[in-house]
Structure 1
Amino acid sequence: MTSSEQTGILKVAYIGAGRVNFGGAAGGPWDHSKRLEQLGGVEFVAIVDPLVEKVRDVLEKKMAGAYAHLYTNCKVLTDYRELLSMGDNKPDAALVGVPPFCHASYKNDIELQLVKAGVHVFVEKPISVQPPEEIQPYVKEVSRTAKEQGVIMSVGYMFRYHDAINKMKEIITEHGRPLMNIDMAYNCAYVSSTRAYIWNIHESGGPIIEQATHFCDLLRYFGGEVDYSQLTSLVVPASDDPTNPGYLSSLSPLLKEGDIPQSSRSPRLTHAQWKFKTGTVGSLTHSYSIHGEKYITNIEIWADGLRMKLENLYYPECRLKIRRGYTDEEQEFVFPTADPYHGEVEVFLKAVRDKDSNIIRSSYEDAFKTYQLTWAIRRTGTGT
């Protein structure tokens, strides 16, 4: 019996000291550490990041806060392999929050080394930036090893844990009719997208793989698997010409997008449509178009006698409007306290404690299927 099984306290390590795991000055909803601290029943044994000063700064702030006692034995490490030689302090679970080009390959085999060592893994999306056919052998080995080791793996598709999405799934089940159409739109407030790698598709994977992956995942969550023979995509490519629809008037000059080759620049708009294997029609639009801070997102689902529209999924003011049955009236639901980030890590810890992978809503294998869809949309739109 391990010390964690004896005490009930899970030893947790963070891989990556950035804003996904620890929030950041730029704001946003990210911060796994905050949720884990509030959930309790954990202690933090290591933070891994090659930027040592960044880790020390994070740890200093944590040691000055209300949850300092959870970080008493937390080590500063520069390489994830060091976690595996920590003896009795080896983590039970690790949260992987690093850029996607830093993991999911035999060169950067974070997931594989962790599951081989029996460490449960929560990894952020997208699972990689490399073409899916190149990482498929790696994904298969990681998944197989995790099953052999009895290890829980979860991927950070947090919207599968959102109260509004749960409500929509519940209504679809109650309605009992097959879906006709699922339409999703993800319009990014690009002025605040100041991380340079996002604007280079060979570093970020592009906007569908890096950002709209969440909605691609929800499209599969509602619609099932895609008939790729019926998938088509159109894009508005980047342009330096102010008269072209691909010109962005408020892109920060600090990003120096002009230094990125034209073929590597992120498209300004992507529109894709297809049929699911069930016959349901699916479509997705992503754009870099909005100024200000807030994204504009919409999800619409249609079936015989049912229409659902969900607006502003990222924000507390998100609203679900439903018209169903023999009435013109709409029902409206609000979800001011929904925190899907809390939900995904809470379920992850419960799955680890109960050794129950069935409650994980986004497994590593399933996340790879979403990854395949994002790449198919990118390729049919840009040809790369």
Structure 2
Amino acid sequence: MAMASMLNVLVIGAGEINFGSVEGPWNHTLRLERILGPRLRVVGLIDVDEARATAALAPKLEAESQATRAAWSACRLFAAVADAALALSPEQIPQIAVVGAPPFARGSDVPGRDLELQLVSAFPGCALFVEKPVSSGPEDACWRVAKVLEGSRAIVGVGYMLRYLKAVQMMKKIITENSLVVMGTNARYVMAYEYARKPAWWDKTRSGGPIVEQATHFCDLSRYFGGDVVLPSVVAHVVQHSESPGQLSAKRFDEDAIPEENRLPRLTSATWKYTGGAVGSLTHVIALHGTTYDTEFEVYADGYHFKLVDPYSTPKLYIRRPGTAGLETHIFTDDDPFHTELATFIDVVDGRRPSGDILSSYVDAIRTYELTWAIRRAGERSAVGYT
């Protein structure tokens, strides 16, 4: 593909991950506009909710930027992939599909929950950028999807954007240059819950729960540095919603409407063994008020301690090296990992970079998904043992 050629993009999902919200930095369509500029041609927006899709498209067609209006001028709304396949002309066949629909609609071979399979069947050769987690369904179904994707030879990337942080890549570089062997990882994710008001998020049968749905990024970072996990080694304990430490005073919705067995644990503490011998740990807590989260990720190796603080906002990396008592500090004030991951993905599609530059493959993302479920299940087993 010539570098200056138009790139046809099909957007799946008219929600926050693709179009942004006041609650977070995600907004894939904005990054696509910035990266591709006049090359971008959005050929379709697929969402079962026509009103939501119409509302998402309207600001694009009315944007101040002429390039944005041009990019979206030919966009058509569809309720399903099959509708798009029937309606799009040969000149409109997408080279990239951005799959930002909820996880219950993907990662499976069950009809209606098989977006990836629908896309590679309808548009052979189309590259897929898939959101995380890869699914909310059974892990074995994800592996069947992976086999089909491998056979299709489609370029596939999964949106674990924290791997692309400059701080994370600095850590990786130091570990590689010094031939370090990771001894352990420690992830800590403390959520500010006051403005989490969607009842579906608090229902683990709908959201997957705080580990599968939210802590998935830190589980993925853990695997990125520690390697594959011995899943039977995972041990976890939880603070249940019904226990005294689990009572929350700043909820802004009615949790009583959710069946008790479906409510979220307030704290999950997990440990596991990596296949290479290292040990990993994760603490996820629903505790803080307001909007500011408290997140840290640590890596230990002989002579070295890395601490990544606030990776979602202004990442700070603290490093202790051999022969020093103090910490060197690196602050990254202008780093957009969403932009970097999408720009990298597009470069691979264009043939300017090798496929290995996509830092999160579909298979790798399934292994992270498996870890999150292993933690959730271990926590649920321990809770039963203490009731």
Is the structural similarity TM-score above 0.5? yes
Number of residue pairs aligned between Structure 1 and Structure 2? 370
Uncovered stretches (5+) of structure 2, i.e. residues with no partner: none
Identical residues among aligned pairs (%):
40
Give the SS at the match of 1:245: helix
1:265-276 aligned within 5 A:
265-276=263-274
Quickly say closer, same or farther: Cα 1:93–1:214, change in 2 above 3 A.
Answer: same
Distance across 1 between alignment mates of 2:326 and 2:369: 38
Using the TM superposition, give the Cα deviation of residue 275 of structure 1 relative to its aligned residue in structure 2, in angstroms: 1.4
3-state DSSP class of the match of 2:319?
Answer: strand
Task: Name 1:79's counterpart in structure 2.
Answer: 80
CA drift of 1:31 comes to 0.4
Would you say the 8 A contact 1:310–1:320 is kept in 2?
yes
The answer to whether the 8 A contact 1:268-1:288 is kept is: yes
| 3-state SS of paired residue (2:280) | strand
1:226-265 map, 5 Å: 226-239=229-242, 244-253=244-253, 256-265=254-263
C-alpha distance in structure 1 between counterparts of 2:346 and 2:317, whole Å: 29
Distance change >3 Å, CA 166–CA 123, structure 1 → 2: same
Q: How high is the TM-score relative to the length of structure 1?
A: 0.92
Alignment match, 1:55: 53
1:28 to 10, 24, 31: 24
Is 1:216–2:255 an aligned residue pair?
A: no
- Please list the CA deviations of residues 115-134 of structure 1 after superposition, one character each: whole Å capped at 9, or x if unmatched: 2222211111111112313x
Partner residue of 2:70? 69
CA contact (8 A) 2:9 2:41 kept: yes
Q: Distance in 2 between matches of 1:251 and 1:281?
A: 35
Q: CA deviation at 1:6?
A: 9.6
Matched, 1:171 2:167: no
Task: Identify which of 294, 306, 312 aligns with 1:314.
Answer: 312
Q: Equivalents in 1 of 2:127, 2:335: separation in Å?
A: 26
Structure 1 distance, partners of 2:23, 2:202, is 20
Shifted more, 364-373 versus 46-55: the winner is 46-55
Match of 1:155? Answer: 158
Please report how far the alpha carbon of residue 273 of structure 1 lies from its aligned counterpart in structure 2 after TM superposition: 0.3
Match of 1:14 in 2: 11
Q: CA deviation at 1:80?
A: 2.1
Residue in 1 that maps onto 2:114? 109
Distance in 2 of aligned mates of 1:27 and 1:238: 24
Instruction: Name the amino acid aligned to 1:198.
Output: W
Superposition deviation, residue 204 in structure 1: 0.8
Partner residue of 2:365? 367
* 2:290 paired residue number: 292
Paired residue for 1:132?
139
Q: Helix, strand or coil: the match of 1:192?
A: coil
State the 1:329 CA deviation.
Answer: 2.3
- Residue 183 of structure 2: which of 180, 189, 201 is its match? 180
- RMSD across aligned C-alpha pairs, in angstroms? 1.7
Q: Does 1:44 align with 2:18?
A: no
Q: Deviations over 1:268-308 (max 9, x none)?
A: 00000011111111100001011111110011111221111
> CA shift at 1:22, angstroms?
0.5
The offset of 1:347, in angstroms, is 1.2
User: Is the 2:3–2:350 Cα contact (8 Å) retained in structure 1?
Assistant: no
